[in-house]
């Protein structure tokens, strides 16, 4: 008797647990609207720094995820692929591509990034760490875009001369709210769609174990204003709505394809490296 009533109670409890289950029916994915807003309106943008390497087997799936996110958020999400560490070391062909940069090496060491792929999203620190495995990217990007009010705007102007391969840059930064913090401006050059071999273990993304003709997207090529960028307000308070102008001039490396090159500029707070605002501009636009 005791046994019967007990099994009844158990049955009810187990049924209870299962009643609360969420069996999801297709479609499983949500449809994105694409980022945007009024042209005049300042919108908060997000930088996803994807620490990656061409010998990292899990990296293509993460890169695919990043590009899926970009389809949802459009220009509001800016991707920067940072090739660094043992997985990015060149080897015998076809893995002889070297996409490493001293910028990547420095920041990997600073954040002690060991696992690949790892992402930094606006370098926001939560619960002691800014490093996010790819499973956490979507949520964090959405969180920033939906909940953070823009506190600065960045405008990039580019002039590229095809003959001399000279690139002139003007970066205008403006703060929309007062702050006592110290900020740095970092300007970087990226090249998109560099072709080369990539290790892969996910058949849904490409050939396993090697994708021979992989396109490395959003690859960081070099820093334009130093490994840490340059300070905006040395010992002085930021003046709200004042335009801080920085100009740069460089010769584009002959190996880079100009039609694939972009400039990324972002403002970050020196106290915790968090990125306040970020902007991207194709050099030919």
Given 46, 48, 72, 130, the residue binding another protein (CB under 8 A): 72
Q: How far apart are the first and last CA of the chain?
A: 81
Residues 112-151 binding another protein (CB under 8 A) are: 112, 114-115, 127-129, 133-136, 138-139, 141-143
CB of 58 to another protein, least distance (A): 7
Of 66-74, 174-182, 237-245, 253-261, which part binds another protein (CB under 8 A)?
66-74
CB of 114 to another protein, least distance (A): 6
Nearest to 115 by CA among 98, 132, 100, 97: 132
Q: Does 204 bind another protein (CB under 8 A)?
A: yes
Kindly give the pairing relationship between strand 243-251 and strand 131-132: unpaired
Number of CB atoms found within 10 A of residue 208's CB: 14
- The length of the chain, given as a count of residues: 285
Q: Does 20 bind another protein (CB under 8 A)?
A: yes
CB of 20 to another protein, least distance (A): 5
Nearer to another protein, 13 or 159 (CB): 13
Nearer to another protein, 39 or 209 (CB): 209
Number of CB atoms found within 10 A of residue 4's CB: 8
Nearer to another protein, 27 or 39 (CB): 27
Number of CB atoms found within 10 A of residue 230's CB: 12
Number of CB atoms found within 10 A of residue 240's CB: 12
Burial class (CB in 10 A: 0-12, 13-18, 19+), 18: exposed
Given 27, 39, 93, 235, the residue binding another protein (CB under 8 A): 27
Of 8-16, 38-46, 151-159, 186-194, which part binds another protein (CB under 8 A)?
8-16
What span, in angstroms and rounded, lies between the C-alpha atoms of 131 and 222?
22
Of 155-163, 198-206, 229-237, 270-278, which part binds another protein (CB under 8 A)?
198-206
Nearest to 117 by CA among 103, 129, 134: 134
CB of 192 to another protein, least distance (A): 22
Instruction: Map residue 136 onto helix, strand or coil.
Output: helix
Q: Does 202 bind another protein (CB under 8 A)?
A: yes
What span, in angstroms and rounded, lies between the C-alpha atoms of 137 and 139?
6
- The footprint of another protein (CB under 8 A) covers 2-3, 6-7, 10, 13-14, 17-18, 20-24, 26-30, 32, 57-58, 61, 64-65, 68-69, 72-73, 109, 112, 114-115, 127-129, 133-136, 138-139, 141-143, 199-204, 208-210
């Amino acid at each position: 008797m005791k046994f019967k009533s007990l099994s009844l109670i158990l049955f009810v409890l187990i049924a209870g647990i299962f009643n609360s289950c969420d069996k999801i029916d297709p479609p499983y994915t949500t449809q994105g609207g694409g980022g945007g807003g009024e042209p005049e309106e300042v919108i908060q943008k997000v930088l996803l720094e994807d620490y990656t390497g061409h010998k990292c087997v899990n990296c293509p799936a993460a890169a695919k995820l990043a590009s899926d996110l970009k389809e949802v958020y459009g220009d509001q999400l800016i991707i920067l692929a940072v090739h660094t560490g043992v997985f990015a070391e060149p080897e015998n062909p076809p893995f002889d591509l070297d996409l490493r940069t001293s910028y990547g090496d420095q920041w990997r060491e600073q954040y002690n990034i060991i696992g690949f792929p790892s992402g930094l999203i606006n370098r926001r620190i939560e619960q002691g760490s800014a490093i996010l495995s790819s499973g956490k990217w979507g949520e964090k990007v959405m969180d920033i875009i939906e909940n953070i009010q823009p506190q600065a705007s960045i405008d990039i102007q580019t002039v590229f001369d095809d003959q001399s391969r000279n690139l002139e840059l003007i970066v205008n930064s403006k703060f929309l709210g007062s702050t006592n913090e110290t900020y740095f401006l970092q300007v970087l050059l990226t090249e998109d769609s560099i072709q080369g071999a990539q290790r892969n273990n996910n058949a849904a993304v490409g050939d396993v174990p090697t994708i021979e003709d992989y396109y490395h997207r959003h690859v960081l090529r070099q820093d334009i204003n130093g490994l840490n960028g340059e300070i905006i307000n040395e010992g002085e308070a930021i003046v709200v709505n004042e335009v801080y102008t920085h100009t740069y001039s460089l010769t584009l490396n002959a190996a880079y394809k100009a039609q694939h090159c972009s400039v990324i500029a972002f403002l970050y707070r020196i106290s915790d490296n968090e990125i306040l605002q970020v902007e991207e501009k194709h050099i030919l636009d």
